[in-house]
Amino acid sequence: MRNVKKQLSRFINYIKHPTYNKEKVHKFLYGSKEKEGFLKQFAVYALLICIGFVYLYPLLYMLSNSFMTLDDLLDSSINWIPSTFNLDNYVQAGNSMEFWSTLGDTVLVCGIPTIINVIICSIVGYGFARFDFPLKKVLMGLLIFTFVLPSQITMMPLYVMYNDYGLIGDIWSFILPAIFGQGLNAQIFILIFYQFYKMVPKVLIEAAQIDGAGYIKSYFRIALPSAKPAMLTVFLFSMVWYWNESYLTEMFVTGLTKAEESGWTTLMVKLQQFNANYSSMQAQQNTGVQINNNESIQMAGTMLSILPLLIAYFLLQRQFVESIDRTGITGE
């Protein structure tokens, strides 16, 4: 207690007769050789926080708007915080998107090609990393070339081809390319695995072969277990990219011309067609109170379609963010 009193009196004294050291203040503000100055640090933090806010701005906007009732939207005095905690928009949007069944579809449409992607890309990456064979350089060049090539250019012939085999409007139009290493962004994944297997010491695999393991066994026993981080990365990113892909999904899996026949759809495709779907649902129901489509409902729909991704990101953000460091996308 006395100690506190002592310090307090010293503090009061200091305020009454300020005896600051000019050098010290300068050092504090501008920093020295060892320590960065307060001003610089303050500026850096301020900038980072500002940019962070800009990054989060659309998300916050979406979140706050999705809870607003129509009155709140029209009321100019309400900017950010809705007057009531209103979940109606979510119910409306969810109904119009048929949320649960679509979610199930989405998980299948994204999940199956993703798992195939992980398996095939790991095999192909191992082939490129471990072995030398003629034309290897040419094939690697083609790998990068197909990555640069936009998917639009091969879209029409593929559509015709799938149509001939009756694959349009079926999940097989995503699975089949994935089996042959041509899934969505498979080139990046092959390169990730390539980088990873390059880091596995060749001696290990050779030792296994001397001990009597064949090519396949040494791949499964030695190479594959050491590539777990790469597999996680590829799984996460493949999942996210398939989830976010609406262009090709709408074309192949949902089917461009026969969307009614096809049972497959994803949340992103539904979101793409949100406005049209919403009005048709309203026309069909025709009972009870009609709530017209408005901004809040659209925002709620958007929120619903990215909600699973957001949850996954908050649970696994470490793996997402660190994966780029670990897998050596950067090591090229």
Partner 1 sequence: MAMSNEEKKVKKAAKPKKIKPGKIARRDAIAGVCFVLPWVIGLIVFKLVPLINSFQYSLARIKFTARGMKIEFKQFENYITMFTEDAEFPVQIVSYITQTLITAPIIVVFALIIAMFLNGKIRCRGLFRSIYFLPVIIASGPVMNMLVGQGATTIATIDSETITNALAAIMPEGFEGVTDAVADVFGNIITILWYSGVQILIFLSALQKIDSSLYEAAGIDGGSGWECFWKITLPTIKPMIVLNVVYTIIFRSNNEQNQVIVMIKDAMKGSATAKTSGYGYASAMAWVFSVVEVLIIGIMALLLMTRKDVYEKQIKRQKKLDKKEARAIRRVRRRDARNAKRKKAA
Write out the binding residues for partner 1, residues 36-95 only, by CB under 8 A.
36, 44-45, 47-48, 51-52, 54-59, 61-62, 65
For the four alpha carbons of 52, 305, 192 and 185, in that order, the dihedral sign comes to negative
State which residue, 169 or 177, has the beta carbon closest to partner 1: 177
Q: Report the alpha-carbon distance of residue 318 to residue 322 in Å, rounded.
A: 6
9 sits near partner 1 (criterion: CB under 8 A): no
Site string for partner 1, 157-176 (x = CB under 8 A): xxxxx---------------
DSSP class per residue in 49-81: HHHHHHHHHHHHHHHHHHT--HHHHH-TT-SSS
Q: Which of 110, 118, 124, 231 binds partner 1 (CB under 8 A)?
A: 124
* Residues contacting partner 1: total by CB under 8 A: 92
- Characterise 134 by phi-psi region: left (phi > 0), alpha (psi -120 to 50), beta (else): beta
State which residue, 12 or 324, has the beta carbon closest to partner 1: 324
State which residue, 11 or 75, has the beta carbon closest to partner 1: 75
Q: Which of 97, 253, 299, 304 binds partner 1 (CB under 8 A)?
A: 299
Q: Which of 72, 105, 170, 245 binds partner 1 (CB under 8 A)?
A: 245
Q: How far is CA 37 from CA 22, 41, 46, 47, 116, in A?
A: 15, 6, 14, 16, 52
Q: Which residues of 139-158 are buried (b: 16+ CB within 10 A; e: fewer)?
A: eeeebeeeeeeeeeeeeeeb
State which residue, 27 or 130, has the beta carbon closest to partner 1: 130
Q: Considering only residues 203 through 242, tell me which ones interact with partner 1, judged by CB under 8 A.
A: 209-212, 214-215, 219, 240
State which residue, 47 or 87, has the beta carbon closest to partner 1: 47
State which residue, 14 or 180, has the beta carbon closest to partner 1: 180
Q: Which of 31, 130, 175, 282 binds partner 1 (CB under 8 A)?
A: 130
Q: How far is CA 300 from CA 65, 89, 261, 279, 314, in A?
A: 8, 6, 28, 16, 19
| 239 within 8 A of 110, measured Cβ to Cβ | yes
Q: Write the burial class of residue 329 (CB in 10 Å: 0-12 exposed, 13-18 middle, 19+ buried).
A: middle
Q: Which of 1, 15, 153, 276 binds partner 1 (CB under 8 A)?
A: 153
State which residue, 155 or 281, has the beta carbon closest to partner 1: 155
